[in-house]
Structure 1
Amino acid sequence: MRIDLHTHSNASDGTDSPAELVRNAAAAGLDVVALTDHDTTRGYADAIAALPEGLTLVTGAELSCRLDGISMHMLAYLFDPEEPELLAERELVRDDRVPRAQQMVARLNALDVPVTWEQVQRIAGNGSVGRPHIASALVELGVVASVDEAFTTDWLADGGRVFVEKHETDPFEAIRLIKGAGGVAVFAHPAAAKRGRTVPESAIAELAAAGLDGIEVDHMDHDRPTRERLRALAGELGLLTTGSSDYHGSRKTCVLGEYTTDPEVYGEITRRATGAFPVPGTGGA
């Protein structure tokens, strides 16, 4: 059983539509895929409508969080998307994305980079605008060779020349909100140091004490020693360990099913969740 619990569609910063994503997941030989767009659930309906027979969809989201000035992401699985507290927080984070992106475009213009807001809007389409869309604009203009190259301190990385902070949820509050909506909380790529500063292991222990369910261990941004260290830490703290591709379509090099989650861990996630249930495919559209 092949299970990928972290993917993105163009409802946020992926390039596949939700329907394309689930069809591609089935073609990649996955049995279960989670749709975890940034701070939004807008892709659910289209993904469910197109869900191929034999593929199960786990509904979720990746919540933008910040702890002691360090950006981090919390994967929320199988929560009730209409629960009012978590819905209000997602909307607050999502609504702050537009003025933040506009400020980053202005900073690029001040550096004589001719990115326009219209260009970024075109790339984002109906998705929640974010740094990857601005990075794609820089690639289009030939300023950088790849999206990854845009995420350096020269450009868009945390603390970079054009970086602008946005509203992000306190992770302890995120856990409370996810649990209140019947969901399961997993800390995404906790040791992805190439993305910027990471929270210390002491903070992960505090999050575990506050109800964190698991940590994403098998991920492209974790090398083997890091994965081994995180797996040992999860064992000490009684946390679940997941594996995922963090697929973004053509925007990143990761591929569906590159890393996967153990079926027993998936079963435990579904047992803990009370806000929603996995959706089995019935043939799709």
Structure 2
Amino acid sequence: MRIDLHAHSTASDGTDSPAELVRNAADAGLDVVALTDHDTVGGYGEALAALPARLTLVTGAELSCRLDGTGVHMLAYLFDPEEPELARERELVRDDRVPRARTMVGKLRDLGVDVTWEQVARIAGDGSVGRPHIATALVELGVVATVSDAFTPDWLADGGRAYAEKHELDPFDAVRLVKAAGGVTVLAHPAAVKRGRCVPESAIAELAAAGLDGIEVDHMDHDADTRARLRGLAADLGLLTTGSSDYHGSRKTCRLGEYTTDPEVYGEITRRATGAFPVPGAGGRER
């Protein structure tokens, strides 16, 4: 059983539509895929309508958080999307994305980059606009070679020359809100140092004590030594460990199913969730 619990669609900053994402997941030989767009559940309907028979969909979101000035991404699975307090916080984050992106475009122009808001808006389409869309604009302009190259102090990394803050959740509040909505929380790529500063292990321990369920260990931004260290930390803290592609379509080099989650861990996530349940494709069933 092949399980990928972190993937993005055009509902946020991926390049596959939700329908394309689930079809591509099935073609990649996955049995389970999680749709975890940034701060939105807007892709659920399309993904469910197109769900192939052999694939099971886990609904979720990747919540934007910040702790002591450090960006934190919290994967939330199988929560009730209609729970009002969590829905309100997601809306606040989404509403702040446009003015934040406009500010970053202005900073880039001040740095001599001929980027425009119209270009970024075209790239984002109907998705929730974010830094990857601005990074794609920089690639189009030949400023950087790849989207990842834009996430440096020179450009869009946390604290970078063109960085701008947005409304973000406190990760402890995120854990509380997701739990109240019947969901399960996993800290995404907690040691991805190439993205900027990471929260210390002491903060992960505090989050575990506050109800965090797991950490994403097997990820393209974690080398072998980092994965081993995180597994040891998870064992010490009683946390689940997941593996995921963090797929963004053609925007990044990762492939669906590049890293996967152990079926026993997936089973425990579904056991803990009460807000929603995995959805097998029409005529299909979990294997």
Q: TM-score under structure 2 normalisation?
A: 0.98
Distance 1:141 1:200 in 2: 36
**C-alpha offsets along residues 84-125 of structure 1, whole Å, 9 cap, x if unaligned?**
000000000010000000000011111121111011000000
CA distance in 1, matches of 2:110, 2:208: 43
- Cα distance in 2 for partners of 1:215, 1:148 equals 22
Secondary structure in 1 matching 2:93 = helix
2:86 corresponds to which residue? Answer: 86
Counterpart of 2:139 in 1: which secondary structure?
A: helix
Which one-letter code corresponds to 1:144 in the other structure?
V
Match of 1:249 in 2: 249
Assess if the C-alpha contact under 8 Å between 1:79 and 1:181 holds in 2.
yes
Name the SS for the 1:231 alignment partner. Answer: helix
Task: Show the counterpart of 1:52.
Answer: 52
CA contact (8 A) 1:50 1:283 kept: no
Partner of 2:28: 28
Q: In the aligned structure 2, how far is the partner of 1:132 from the partner of 1:82? A: 27
Counterpart residue identity of residue 164, structure 1: A
- Deviation, structure 1 residue 186: 0.3
Structure 1 outlier segments of 4+, above 6 Å? none
- Structure 1 gaps of 5+ residues are none
2:133 matched residue in structure 1: 133
Deviations 1:42-75 (A, max 9, x none): 0000000000011000000000000111001000
Letter paired with 2:194: K
- Which stretch of structure 1 is more off in the superposition, 138-147 or 19-28? 138-147
Q: CA deviation at 1:34?
A: 0.1
Superposition deviation, residue 181 in structure 1: 0.3
Q: Distance in 1 between matches of 2:217 and 2:112?
A: 40
Distance of 1:274 and 1:171 partners within structure 2: 20
Which residue number in structure 2 is paired with residue 157 of structure 1?
157
The corresponding residue for 1:99 is 99
Query: Which piece of structure 1 moves more, 74-83 or 108-117?
Result: 108-117
| Equivalent pair of 1:51/1:283 in contact (CA under 8 Å) | no
The DSSP-based 3-state class of the residue aligned with 1:96 is helix
Distance 2:212 2:166 in 1: 23
Aligned residue number for residue 146 of structure 2? 146
Partner SS, residue 40 of structure 1: coil
Q: Is the counterpart of residue 175 in structure 1 residue 175 in structure 2?
A: yes
In the alignment, the residues of structure 1 paired with residue 111 and residue 67 of structure 2 have an alpha-carbon distance, to the nearest angstrom, of: 30
Percent identity of equivalent pairs: 82
Contact 1:54/1:280, CA 8 A, preserved across alignment? yes
CA RMSD after TM alignment:
0.8
**Partner in structure 1 of residue 62 of structure 2:** 62
Name the count of aligned residue pairs.
284
Which range moved further: 142-151 or 79-88? 142-151
Alignment partner of 1:258 is 2:243:
no
Q: Please tell me the residue identity of whatever aligns with 1:85.
A: E
Moved more, 56-65 or 145-154: 145-154
Give the match's secondary structure for 1:120.
Answer: helix
Gaps of at least 5 residues in structure 2 are none
Q: Tell me the SS of whatever aligns to 1:73.
A: strand
Q: Which residue type is aligned with residue 94 of structure 2?
A: R
CA–CA distance in 2 between the matches of 1:247 and 1:66? 22
**Cα 1:236–1:161 shift into 2, 3 Å:** same
